Structure 1
Amino acid sequence: QPLRMHCKTCVLVTSSGHLTGSNRGNEIDQAECVIRMNDAPTKGYGKDVGNKTSLRVIAHSSMQYILRNRNELLNVSHGTVFIFWGPTSYMRKDGKGLVYNNLKGMNQILPQLKLYVITRQKMLQFDELFKRETGKDRKVSNTWLSTGWFTMIIAIELCDRIAVYGMAPPNFCRDRRHRSVPYHYYEPSGPDECRMYISHEWGQKGSHHRFITEKKVFAKWAQIFNILFFQPDWKPESLAINHAEIKPLL
C-alpha cells in the first residue's frame, strides 16, 4: 500500500559531523516528524541529534547495519516508518532480490514494522528529476543518487515545512577556511566530509554520488518550498526563479 503520511513540521537530520557538539537535540525533537537516514544512531548522541525518529530512509547498502543493530534501529514501540530503496535487481520478488528477501525476513520477525519500498516507477521518476534539474543523465554521468536525494524529495512530498540540520551549503568546501568535520557524526575517526564530497563530485571511474550538485538543487528547491537549513545556519543565495513556471517535482 502507498504511504499515507503528512506532517506540518518536519526536521530532516543528516548524518554529518556538523552536528557534533551542536546541542540541537531538544530543538530537533520539537518537530512533529523527524526524518533520519540509513543507520544513523540516536542512542548516545541525543544531545546533539535528538532521540525522536518518525521516518527513516534506508539505502540497500545499509541493510546489514540495520539488521546488526535492529534492537535499537527497528524499535517497534516508537512507531517509526521505514522506507527502503535499492536497484531493481535487489527488489525482485522471485527469491533473487537481496533487499526484498531481507525485508520479508524482518517482517516475519517483527510483523508490526511499518516497512515501505521505493518502487521502480518512483526510482525512474527520481532519475528523471535529477536530469531535469542538473541537465545530466544519471547513468551516462556514472552517478548514484544519494540517500539524501531520496530523503529530501520524500520530505517535500510529506511535509509542509522542513528544517534540515547538518547540511552545509554547496560552496562550503571551496572555502579554504572551512571547518573540518567527519562525514558521519557517529564515526569521529572516519573520513573528512569535504574530502568525501569532492572525491565523489569529480570522480569519473565507477559510480559516484554527486553530493555538491545535489546540494545546489536543494538550495534551489529551498526557495520554492518551505525549507530552512541549520547547523550550519545558512540561506540559499537569491536565484531568478519564476514560481509560476515551476512544475511539480513528481
Structure 2
Amino acid sequence: RTQCLSVVTLHSPPSRTQCLSVVTLHSPPSRTQWLSVVTTFSSLQDTVFISSNITFSSLQDTVFIFWGPSSYMRRDGKGLVYNNLRLMNQVLPKLKVYIISWQKMLEFDELFKKETGKDRRISNSWLSTGWFTMTIALELCDRINVYGMVAPDHCREPQPPSVPYHYYEPLGPEECAMYISHERGRRGSHHRFITEKRVFASWARTFNIHFYQPDWEPLPLAPANRTQGETVSVSIHDWRPEMEVGW
C-alpha cells in the first residue's frame, strides 16, 4: 500500500499534489504524472499506439491496468483487447501491464449491488471507469485525493456551469446533460454517474477520500445511517498479472 494517491479526471494533473502516486482516467501518461495510470479497453489504442512521443523510459514507473467485457478479454484468440495486450507485452516485455480477472469483474458487480441495491445487469448499467478506479484506489492507499470530480448534486444547481463531458471534445455533449441522460436511461446500457458519485460521497464519510477542483465534502450522516462502507473489499492481491505468466 502507498500512503497517498491522487485520482485525476482533469486534462492535466494538478501542478502541486501531496501524493507521489497518480492515477489518471483515459489520459496518456505524461512527465507530470509519477507512478500509475489506469486505463480501460476503450482507450488502449490512444494510450499505447498513438502516443508515439512517449518514450519507454518515461513509462518505467507507470502501471497499466486494463479491464473490459468478457468478449474483448477472451483468451482463445478471439479477444481483441487481450490479443493486443499480448502483442504489446511481446514488444515491450518490461512494461507493467495487468488485467482484471473475470472473477474480479463479477466482484465489482456485486459491490455495486451491495452499495446501491441495484443489480447491474438487470438495471442495464455499465460500471464507469471512475467506479473501477475508486475501488482500486481504496485497496492501494490510505488517502485518496480526487481532482475534477463534481459532487453528486452538482447538476441540481439552478445554473450549473456548462462544460463538455470530455475535456478533449469541447464541442461534444455537455456534462450534466450526459449525466442525467445516463442516470435516467432505461433502454440499452448506461453509466449511472450520479448514483456512483453518491456512493463515492458515502465512502468519503468513512474512508480518507478528499475531492478537489471543484472542492467539496459530503454532508455528514449519523453513524446509524452508515452501513455500506464495509462492503469495499475487492483485493488487489488477487489480481493475476496476465502479461507476465500463463502464455
TM range (shorter): 0.7 to 0.9
**Secondary structure in structure 1 of the residue aligned to 2:230:** coil
| Counterpart for residue 118 of structure 2 | 136
Question: Any residues of structure 2 matched to 1:152-231 within 5 Å, and which?
Answer: 152-231=134-213
Q: Structure 1 90/12 Cα, relative in aligned 2: closer, same or farther at 3 Å? A: same
Give the Cα–Cα distance (whole angstroms) in 2 for the partners of residues 226 and 198 of structure 1.
28
Give the Cα–Cα distance (whole angstroms) in 1 for the partners of residues 47 and 25 of structure 2.
11
Q: Structure 1 51/115 Cα, relative in aligned 2: closer, same or farther at 3 Å? A: same
Displacement of 1:100: 0.6
| Counterpart for residue 237 of structure 2 | none
Give the Cα–Cα distance (whole angstroms) in 1 for the partners of residues 123 and 54 of structure 2.
34
Once the two structures are superposed, residues 46-65 of structure 1 have per-residue CA deviations (whole angstroms, 9 ceiling, x without a partner) of xxxx8214222222222222
**Secondary structure in structure 1 of the residue aligned to 2:52:** helix
Aligned equivalent of 1:241, options 214, 217, 223? 223
Displacement of 1:70: 3.5
Aligned equivalent of 1:35, options 9, 18, 23? 23
Displacement of 1:213: 0.2
Residue 57 of structure 1 aligns with an amino acid whose one-letter code is V
Question: Any residues of structure 2 matched to 1:34-183 within 5 Å, and which?
Answer: 34-38=22-26, 40-41=27-28, 51-72=32-53, 75-78=56-59, 79-183=61-165
Give the Cα–Cα distance (whole angstroms) in 2 for the partners of residues 244 and 142 of structure 1.
25
Give the Cα–Cα distance (whole angstroms) in 1 for the partners of residues 163 and 29 of structure 2.
18
**Secondary structure in structure 2 of the residue aligned to 1:90:** coil
Once the two structures are superposed, residues 105-145 of structure 1 have per-residue CA deviations (whole angstroms, 9 ceiling, x without a partner) of 11111111100001111111100000000000000000000
User: What stretches of structure 1 of length at least 5 have no aligned partner?
Assistant: 1-5, 44-49
Q: Structure 1 131/74 Cα, relative in aligned 2: closer, same or farther at 3 Å? A: farther
Moved more, 65-74 or 133-142: 65-74
Residue 33 of structure 1 aligns with an amino acid whose one-letter code is S
Contact 2:163 2:174 in 1 (8 A): yes
Residue 205 of structure 2 aligns with an amino acid whose one-letter code is Q
**Secondary structure in structure 1 of the residue aligned to 2:125:** coil
Give the Cα–Cα distance (whole angstroms) in 2 for the partners of residues 138 and 244 of structure 1.
20
Aligned residues: 231
Residue 158 of structure 1 aligns with an amino acid whose one-letter code is L
Give the Cα–Cα distance (whole angstroms) in 1 for the partners of residues 190 and 79 of structure 2.
23
Q: Structure 1 190/51 Cα, relative in aligned 2: closer, same or farther at 3 Å? A: farther
Residue 37 of structure 1 aligns with an amino acid whose one-letter code is L
Contact 1:41 1:186 in 2 (8 A): no
Once the two structures are superposed, residues 187-220 of structure 1 have per-residue CA deviations (whole angstroms, 9 ceiling, x without a partner) of 3222211111111111111101000000000000
Give the Cα–Cα distance (whole angstroms) in 1 for the partners of residues 151 and 69 of structure 2.
29
Contact 1:66 1:73 in 2 (8 A): no
Percent of aligned pairs with the same amino acid: 56
Give the Cα–Cα distance (whole angstroms) in 2 for the partners of residues 84 and 125 of structure 1.
16
Contact 1:76 1:113 in 2 (8 A): no
User: What stretches of structure 2 of length at least 5 have no aligned partner?
Assistant: 234-247
| Counterpart for residue 25 of structure 1 | 14
| Counterpart for residue 14 of structure 1 | 9
Q: Structure 1 183/244 Cα, relative in aligned 2: closer, same or farther at 3 Å? A: closer
Q: Structure 1 217/96 Cα, relative in aligned 2: closer, same or farther at 3 Å? A: same
Aligned-residue Cα RMSD (Å) equals 2.1
Contact 1:35 1:55 in 2 (8 A): yes
